[in-house]
């Protein structure tokens, strides 16, 4: 008889290795293997130290290799078995693959967007170290007033923490020499701009320092999109000469497809080539703020250190130039990483959409788990036979997980196709928020993510049904009696249905909030009447602005069908151009006299007579501009209601005076209704309208009111403009309705995505409830038969079963409402005009879900009415 001793360290080592083997293998051979190990260990010890070492290496390698082989073999067996089951029950397989495919595909699509925009570094080598410098005037609410040339020189020469400091500003010029004159958005940049970014041109060269010196030959670099659009991707355009600003410019390079910032432009030129930037005013006036400034930090310098360094420069400038940086307005310098800036607008949208697809995935997994549990019940006899034939519970569990993984892998493949197919839609959607949309592509990372997600889903949906197996006593299985497993499974299915209801209600509330936002924005009074208004942007090159615009308006107004026409420096909801805030002085202001909070500086816009009437804005007091408001007449302005109520809440603003520049007082002759210029979701701000007759503008937006905003009107407009000035550029001809619609497009698409997810969720949940009830009726046929036999009516039986559904529904709705209540605040960035916990949305979502739940559970229950108790009891 052997004496049982404590295992040695070597035996414990072997035991650890043995755990790598499949359970069945361990059960069968572990004892023998331990004995053999001891015998071989003794021999090896006798053979010397080297043999002993070799023995351990061989044992370890041999066991690992055997474990790998055994697991692989089992995997192949289980996969083969799962495939046969999937083929046998094709409708089940297709349903599961479709549900998982949609959810995994949507998740992969969300990953592609989030990865490219929020996670991945910018696609230029220097991009991640790039920061945007902003000059702020907190006293008057100016977040970024831009930099003047003088300020750039100061910050460039005085800082100790920046590696390089480059500038960018956007101009619009006419490019001549092609088939026809084209208006090109031009980025005016420092010579080392692209070197700092780490961008190498696709063709040609980048700007060199010599290109940015006085009297250098003007050169251009084309953006990728402009090159493709205007030159058909012809690389021979490099070296070609074009006329711009009455000078010959040579194309020296073409950029690769990169996300442009701060805005998309067509061409780039060095600063010295820009006539405005090289002008007297720009070069010498500290107030000539028009440049965006970007910088990279020196190696090892933190953002905080750079901030401290630049703050000191700002303080020095404030002391040295007190007139340029008045204490009342405040003066600060801010630093912001460019990556953060580029993803700022889309971040909340992506977070909400990612959360929605996450919920959809959870719901899909829950639903499929429910189906798997039901299927497991149907296979009880088969599993009992496998148990009797010697398959352990772990072996059965493993086979189930493999089956789940197989289904999820097929679902994942369907998801990959779904994600690949939706990439175009995704790019057009994200492009409404960020230029990083150009970086969205179907990468290997997306494929790996999709496969890993599929594996995770497979494990979840494969493991969940095993809860029934784990608790099923062997004798119960052997007798084919499913009562124990049935009870457990019934509870599991109930919990799964409640979970689906909870996920569904969160998605419904999310979609409801987004839809209500769009409905609100559709109905919001923007302060103008877009219907019947045609808009376009007009650029002129020579100095005859006043005469050109005067003639243009006269001739447009004479066109048949045109009711009115007007011009404005910017039109509402047009994101391409915007006017900046300008601090003003106000005489006899009531609010200021009472020392109330000083309003933010108003935006100055330039308009012509009849602009307000054409746009559909109303003159609330005083008058519109007239042809008599000329440069020689008393300078006058019109203010909006918002400004008037700020400064003169109790009296009329008409007749009061404001000053935009020191000692140049302007009389207010009218008050116009508020117009939502920046966005339909943005409250109106203070605005001052000046007359074009007193200003000089090279670019204006034209609005024409006509009952028929047909393409003919656009063609007539172009003809008239070119007839007056052949070099005039007429761009962006769109009905005002389309301008409004384009602005709403991103909100509409967000709401559409969330609604589609919610509808899918509703369908999946309905199928889950319906499936569960059908199975419950099937399982309880005997009980139903007895109840019918002793006199119960089908109605009372249906009612009692509906009570169970009601309990599940209350649990699901309650949990879902809790989740939606907490999550709705995170949607505050994308909703407008309604509260995040909007009672109507919550009420409608719950009503919809209750209706769908009742309908989907009632249909299977109607089978009860058709059951014959005699047949049921005989069958038992």
Partner 1 sequence: MGKKRTIESYLPLTPALFHVLLALADGEKHGYVISKEIARRTDNEVNLSTGTLYGIIKRLLEDGMIEESSERPDFSLDDQRRRYYRLTKLGRTVAEAEAERMERVLALARLKNVLGPQNA
Q: Of the two residues 14 and 571, which places its CB atom closer to partner 1 in the complex?
A: 14
Dihedral pair phi/psi, residue 167, rounded to 5°? -120, 160
* 363 CB burial (10 A radius; 0-12, 13-18, 19+): buried
Q: Of the two residues 59 and 746, which places its CB atom closer to partner 1 in the complex?
A: 59
Q: Of the two residues 40 and 578, which places its CB atom closer to partner 1 in the complex?
A: 40
Contact pick of 11, 13, 23, 34 for partner 1 (by CB under 8 A): 34
Quote the least distance from Cβ 396 to partner 1, whole Å: 19
The window from 67-75, 121-129, 619-627, 817-825 that contacts partner 1 (CB under 8 A) reads 67-75
Q: Residues touching partner 1: how many (CB under 8 A)?
A: 28
Q: Of the two residues 8 and 708, which places its CB atom closer to partner 1 in the complex?
A: 8
Quote the least distance from Cβ 1 to partner 1, whole Å: 10
Contact pick of 27, 39, 575, 783 for partner 1 (by CB under 8 A): 39
Quote the least distance from Cβ 386 to partner 1, whole Å: 14
Contact pick of 12, 16, 27, 58 for partner 1 (by CB under 8 A): 58
Is 281 one of the binding residues for partner 1 (CB under 8 A)?
A: no
Q: Of the two residues 31 and 424, which places its CB atom closer to partner 1 in the complex?
A: 31
The window from 51-59, 114-122, 373-381, 628-636 that contacts partner 1 (CB under 8 A) reads 51-59
Contact pick of 31, 235, 421, 649 for partner 1 (by CB under 8 A): 31
- Each residue 233-262 as x (binds partner 1 by CB under 8 A) or -, in order, gives ------------------------------
How far is residue 738 CA from its own chain's centroid? 23
Q: Of the two residues 120 and 394, which places its CB atom closer to partner 1 in the complex?
A: 394
Quote the least distance from Cβ 77 to partner 1, whole Å: 11
Among 572, 511, 568, 440, residue whose Cα is nearest residue 749: 511
CA distance 611 to 626: 11
The distance between the two most distant Cα atoms of the chain, rounded to a whole number of Å, is 124
Q: Of the two residues 17 and 373, which places its CB atom closer to partner 1 in the complex?
A: 17
Is 63 one of the binding residues for partner 1 (CB under 8 A)?
A: yes
Torsion-angle region of residue 659: left (phi > 0), alpha (psi -120 to 50) or beta?
A: beta
Separate counts of helices (H) and strands (E) for the chain: 29, 21
CA distance 760 to 753: 11
Reading the block at residue 485, the tokens are 């497993």
Exposure string for 112-136, b = 16+ CB within 10 A, e = fewer? bbbbbbbeeebbbebbebbbbbbbb
Is 11 one of the binding residues for partner 1 (CB under 8 A)?
A: no
Exposure string for 582-615, b = 16+ CB within 10 A, e = fewer? ebbebeebebbeeeeeebebbbbbbbbbbbbbbb
Q: Rounded to the nearest 5 degrees, what angle is found at the Cα of 268, between the Cα atoms of 185 and 176?
A: 60
Alpha-helical runs (H) found in 321-465: 338-343, 347-378, 380-388, 393-421, 423-430, 444-463
Q: Are 485 and 474 in contact (CB under 8 A)?
A: no
3-state secondary structure at position 181:
coil
Q: Rounded to the nearest 5 degrees, what angle is found at the Cα of 715, between the Cα atoms of 710 and 717?
A: 100
Q: Of the two residues 32 and 683, which places its CB atom closer to partner 1 in the complex?
A: 32
Q: How far, in Å, are 39, 258, 383, 640 from residue 604 at the CA level? A: 95, 34, 79, 11
Among 205, 210, 198, 209, residue whose Cα is nearest residue 222: 205
- Each residue 70-109 as x (binds partner 1 by CB under 8 A) or -, in order, gives x---------------------------------------
End-to-end CA distance of the chain: 57
Q: Of the two residues 64 and 759, which places its CB atom closer to partner 1 in the complex?
A: 64
- R_g of the chain, CA atoms, integer Å: 37
Beta bridge partners of 268: 187, 221
List the beta strands (DSSP E) in 152-246.
162-176, 182-189, 203-204, 219-222, 241-244
Quote the least distance from Cβ 8 to partner 1, whole Å: 15
Quote the least distance from Cβ 409 to partner 1, whole Å: 25
Is 64 one of the binding residues for partner 1 (CB under 8 A)?
A: yes
The window from 54-62, 120-128, 199-207, 762-770 that contacts partner 1 (CB under 8 A) reads 54-62
Is 481 one of the binding residues for partner 1 (CB under 8 A)?
A: no
Q: Of the two residues 46 and 246, which places its CB atom closer to partner 1 in the complex?
A: 46
Is 852 one of the binding residues for partner 1 (CB under 8 A)?
A: no
Is 35 one of the binding residues for partner 1 (CB under 8 A)?
A: yes
Q: Are 849 and 763 in contact (CB under 8 A)?
A: no
Is 33 one of the binding residues for partner 1 (CB under 8 A)?
A: yes
Q: Of the two residues 30 and 724, which places its CB atom closer to partner 1 in the complex?
A: 30
Per residue, what are the HEC states of 652-689? CCCCCEEECCCCCEEEEEEEECCCCCCCCCCCCCCEEE
Reading the block at residue 401, the tokens are 């997980």
What DSSP line would sit under 538-581, residue for residue?
Answer: EE--SS-HHHHHHHHHHHHHTSTT--EEEEESS-TT-TT--PPB
Is 25 one of the binding residues for partner 1 (CB under 8 A)?
A: yes
Is 62 one of the binding residues for partner 1 (CB under 8 A)?
A: yes
Is 388 one of the binding residues for partner 1 (CB under 8 A)?
A: no
Sign of the torsion formed by the C-alpha atoms of 460, 466, 468 and 471: negative
Contact pick of 8, 16, 19, 40 for partner 1 (by CB under 8 A): 40
Q: Of the two residues 31 and 235, which places its CB atom closer to partner 1 in the complex?
A: 31
Q: Of the two residues 70 and 590, which places its CB atom closer to partner 1 in the complex?
A: 70
What DSSP line would sit under 807-823, residue for residue?
Answer: HHHHHHHHHHHHHHHHH
Q: Of the two residues 28 and 558, which places its CB atom closer to partner 1 in the complex?
A: 28
The window from 33-41, 226-234, 511-519, 812-820 that contacts partner 1 (CB under 8 A) reads 33-41
Percent of the chain as helix, strand, coil, to the nearest 5: 55, 15, 30
How many other CB atoms are found less than 10 A from the CB of residue 793?
12
Is 15 one of the binding residues for partner 1 (CB under 8 A)?
A: no
Quote the least distance from Cβ 31 to partner 1, whole Å: 5
The window from 53-61, 125-133, 264-272, 718-726 that contacts partner 1 (CB under 8 A) reads 53-61
The window from 20-28, 127-135, 247-255, 748-756 that contacts partner 1 (CB under 8 A) reads 20-28
Is 67 one of the binding residues for partner 1 (CB under 8 A)?
A: yes
Q: Of the two residues 21 and 457, which places its CB atom closer to partner 1 in the complex?
A: 21
Residues 796-835 that bind partner 1 (CB under 8 A): none
Quote the least distance from Cβ 44 to partner 1, whole Å: 10
Sign of the torsion formed by the C-alpha atoms of 528, 533, 538 and 544: negative
Quote the least distance from Cβ 71 to partner 1, whole Å: 12
Q: Of the two residues 37 and 647, which places its CB atom closer to partner 1 in the complex?
A: 37
Residue 549: how many CA atoms within 13 Å on its side-chain side? Answer: 32
Quote the least distance from Cβ 399 to partner 1, whole Å: 17
How many other CB atoms are found less than 10 A from the CB of residue 554?
11
Q: Of the two residues 59 and 367, which places its CB atom closer to partner 1 in the complex?
A: 59
Q: Of the two residues 17 and 100, which places its CB atom closer to partner 1 in the complex?
A: 17
Is 53 one of the binding residues for partner 1 (CB under 8 A)?
A: no
Is 13 one of the binding residues for partner 1 (CB under 8 A)?
A: no
Contact pick of 14, 102, 363, 730 for partner 1 (by CB under 8 A): 14
Quote the least distance from Cβ 474 to partner 1, whole Å: 24
Residues that bind partner 1 (CB under 8 A): 14, 17, 21, 25, 28-29, 31-37, 39-40, 43, 55, 58-59, 61-67, 69-70
């Amino acid at each position: 008889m052997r004496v049982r001793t404590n295992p040695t360290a070597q035996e414990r080592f072997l035991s650890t290795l043995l755990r790598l083997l499949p359970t069945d293998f361990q059960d069968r051979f572990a004892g023998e293997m331990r004995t053999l190990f001891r015998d071989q260990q003794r021999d090896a010890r006798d053979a010397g130290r080297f043999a002993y070492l070799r023995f351990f290496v061989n044992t370890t390698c041999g066991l690992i290799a055997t474990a790998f082989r055994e697991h692989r073999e089992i995997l192949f067996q289980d996969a083969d078995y799962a495939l046969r089951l999937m083929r046998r029950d094709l409708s089940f397989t297709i349903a599961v693959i479709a549900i998982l495919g949609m959810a995994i595909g949507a998740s992969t699509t969300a990953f592609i967007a989030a990865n490219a925009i929020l996670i991945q570094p910018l696609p230029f080598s220097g991009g991640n170290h790039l920061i945007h410098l902003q000059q702020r005037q907190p006293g008057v609410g100016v977040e970024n007033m831009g930099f003047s040339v003088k300020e750039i020189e100061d910050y460039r020469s005085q800082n100790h923490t920046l590696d390089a400091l480059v500038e960018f500003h956007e101009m619009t010029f006419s490019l001549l020499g092609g088939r026809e004159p084209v208006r090109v958005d031009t980025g005016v940049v420092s010579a080392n701009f692209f070197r700092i970014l780490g961008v190498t041109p696709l063709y040609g060269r980048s700007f060199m320092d010599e290109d940015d010196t006085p009297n250098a030959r003007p050169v251009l670099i084309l953006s990728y999109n402009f090159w493709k659009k205007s030159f058909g991707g012809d690389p021979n355009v490099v070296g070609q000469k074009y006329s711009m600003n009455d000078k010959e410019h040579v194309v020296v390079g073409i950029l690769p497809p990169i996300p442009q910032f701060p805005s998309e432009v067509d061409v780039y030129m060095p600063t010295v080539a820009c006539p405005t930037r090289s002008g007297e005013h720009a070069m010498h006036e500290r107030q000539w703020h028009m440049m965006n400034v970007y910088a990279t930090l020196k190696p090892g310098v933190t953002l905080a250190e750079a901030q401290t360094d630049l703050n000191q420069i700002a303080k020095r400038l404030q002391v040295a130039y007190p007139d340029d940086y008045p204490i009342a307005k405040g003066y600060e310098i801010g630093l912001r990483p460019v990556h953060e800036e580029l993803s700022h607008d889309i971040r909340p949208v992506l977070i909400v959409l990612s959360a929605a697809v996450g919920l959809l995935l959870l719901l899909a997994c829950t639903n499929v788990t429910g189906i798997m549990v039901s299927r497991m019940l149907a296979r009880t006899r088969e599993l009992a036979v496998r148990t009797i034939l010697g398959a352990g519970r772990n072996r059965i569990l493993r086979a189930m997980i493999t089956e789940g993984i197989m289904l999820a892998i097929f679902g994942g493949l369907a998801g990959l196709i779904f994600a690949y197919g939706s990439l175009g839609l995704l790019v057009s959607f994200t492009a409404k928020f960020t230029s990083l949309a150009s970086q969205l592509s179907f990468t290997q990372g997306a494929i790996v993510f999709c496969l890993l997600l599929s594996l995770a889903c497979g494990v979840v949906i494969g493991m969940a049904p095993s809860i029934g197996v784990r608790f099923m006593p062997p004798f119960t299985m052997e007798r084919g009696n499913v009562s124990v497993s049935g009870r457990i499974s019934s509870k599991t299915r109930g919990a799964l249905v409640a979970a689906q209801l909870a996920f569904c209600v969160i998605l419904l509330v999310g979609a409801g909030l987004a839809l209500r936002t769009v409905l609100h924005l559709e109905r919001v009074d923007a302060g103008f009447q877009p219907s019947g208004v045609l808009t376009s942007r007009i650029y002129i090159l020579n100095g005859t602005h006043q005469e050109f615009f005067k003639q243009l308006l006269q001739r447009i107004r004479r066109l048949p069908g045109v009711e009115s026409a007007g011009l404005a420096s910017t039109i509402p909801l047009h994101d391409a151009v915007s006017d900046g805030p300008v601090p003003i002085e106000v005489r006899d202001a009531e609010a200021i006299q009472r020392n109330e909070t000083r309003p933010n500086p108003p935006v100055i816009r330039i308009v012509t007579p009849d602009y307000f009437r054409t746009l559909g804005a109303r003159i609330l007091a005083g008058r519109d501009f007239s042809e008599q408001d000329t440069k020689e007449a008393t300078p006058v302005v019109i203010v909006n209601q918002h400004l008037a109520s700020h400064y003169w809440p109790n009296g009329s603003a008409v007749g009061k005076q404001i000053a935009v520049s020191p000692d140049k007082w302007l009389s207010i002759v009218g008050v116009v209704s508020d117009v939502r210029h920046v966005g339909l979701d943005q409250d109106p701000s203070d605005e001052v309208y000046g007359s074009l007759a007193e200003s000089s503008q090279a670019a204006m937006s034209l609005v024409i009111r006509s009952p028929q905003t047909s393409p003919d009107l656009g063609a007539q407009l172009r003809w008239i403009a070119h007839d007056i000035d052949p070099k005039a550029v007429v761009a962006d001809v769109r009905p005002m309705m389309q301008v409004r619609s384009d602005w709403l497009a991103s909100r509409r698409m967000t709401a559409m995505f969330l609604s589609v997810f919610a509808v899918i969720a509703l369908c999946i949940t309905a199928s889950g409830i319906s499936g569960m009830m059908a199975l419950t009726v099937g399982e309880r046929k005997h009980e139903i038969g007895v109840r019918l036999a002793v006199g119960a009516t089908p109605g009372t039986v249906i009612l009692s079963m509906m009570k169970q559904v009601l309990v599940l529904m209350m649990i699901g709705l309650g949990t879902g409402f809790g989740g939606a209540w907490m999550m709705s605040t995170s949607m505050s960035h994308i909703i407008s005009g309604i509260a995040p916990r909007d009672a109507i949305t919550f009420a409608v979502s719950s009503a919809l879900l209750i209706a769908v739940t009742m309908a989907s559970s009632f249909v299977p229950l109607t089978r009860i009415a058709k059951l014959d108790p005699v047949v049921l009891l005989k069958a038992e």
